[in-house]
Chain A
Amino acid sequence: MKAAAFDYVRASSVDEICRLLADAGDEERKIIAGGQTLVPLMAMRMARPDMLIDINDVAELAGINDHGDHVSFGAGTRQRAIERSDIVSDRLPLVAKAVRNVGHQQTRNRGTIGGSIVHGDPSAELPMAALALEATMILRAVSGETEMPIDGFFEAAMVTNIEPEQLLTEIRIPVWQDARIGTGFHETSSRQGDFAIVAAAAQVALAEDGKVTRAAISVGGAAPSPVKLHGLEAALIGKSADGFQDIIALVDEEIDAETDVHATAEYRRRVTRKLVSRAIDDAIAEAGK
Chain B
Amino acid sequence: MKQVEVTLNVNGKDTTLTIPPRMTLVDCLRDELRLTGTHVGCEHGICGACSVFLDDEPIRSCLMFAVQAAGHRITTVEGLLNEDGSLSDLQDSFWECHAMQCGYCTPGMLVASESLLAENPDPSEDDIREAISGNLCRCTGYQQIVEAVQMTAKRRREGAANG
Contacts and interface: CB of A to CB of B under 8 A. Distances in A.
Interface residues of B, number: 33
B67 A110 contact: no
Contact of B115 (A2, A8, A105, A107): A105
A33 to B, nearest CB: 10
Contacts of A8: 4, 21, 65, 67
B151 interface: no
A37 B71 CA distance: 23
Contacts of B117: none
B2 A106 contact: no
B131 to A, nearest CB: 6
B43 A1 contact: yes
B14 interface: no
Contact of B134 (A1, A3, A54, A107): A107
A110 B59 contact: yes
B51 A106 contact: yes
B44 interface: yes
A40 B45 CA distance: 7
B54 interface: yes
Interface string B95-136: 000000000000000001001100000000000001101100
Contacts of B45: 36, 39-40, 107
A2 B57 contact: no
Contacts of B62: 39, 43
A15 B158 CA distance: 53
A188 interface: no
A109 B58 contact: yes
A80 B131 CA distance: 13
B64 interface: yes
A35 B2 CA distance: 20
B133 A106 contact: no
If over half of A's interface residues share one DSSP class (helix, strand or loop), that class is named, otherwise mixed; here it is loop
Contacts, number: 91
Interface size class of A (residues with CB under 8 A): 20 to 34
A56 interface: yes
A5 B44 contact: no
B163 to A, nearest CB: 30
A40 B57 contact: no
A104 interface: yes
B57 A35 contact: no
B57 A109 contact: yes
B136 to A, nearest CB: 10
Contacts of B2: 5-7
Nearest to B43: A1
A103 B59 CA distance: 12
A235 interface: no
Interface in A65-116: 80, 103-107, 109-110
A52 interface: yes
A109 B44 contact: no
B61 to A, nearest CB: 9
A52 B21 contact: yes
Contacts of A109: 54, 57-59
Nearest to B40: A1
Contacts of A52: 21, 65
Interface of A: 1-8, 10, 32, 35-36, 39-40, 42-44, 52, 54, 56-57, 80, 103-107, 109-110, 192-193
4 shortest interchain CB distances as A-B pairs:
A104-B134, A8-B21, A40-B44, A1-B43
12 contacts: A7-B2, A8-B21, A43-B43, A43-B44, A103-B134, A104-B134, A106-B48, A106-B59, A106-B112, A109-B57, A110-B59, A110-B64
Given A40-B63, A109-B58, A110-B63, 17 more contacts: A2-B22, A2-B24, A2-B27, A3-B22, A4-B22, A5-B20, A7-B2, A8-B4, A39-B62, A43-B43, A103-B134, A105-B115, A105-B131, A106-B60, A106-B112, A107-B134, A110-B59
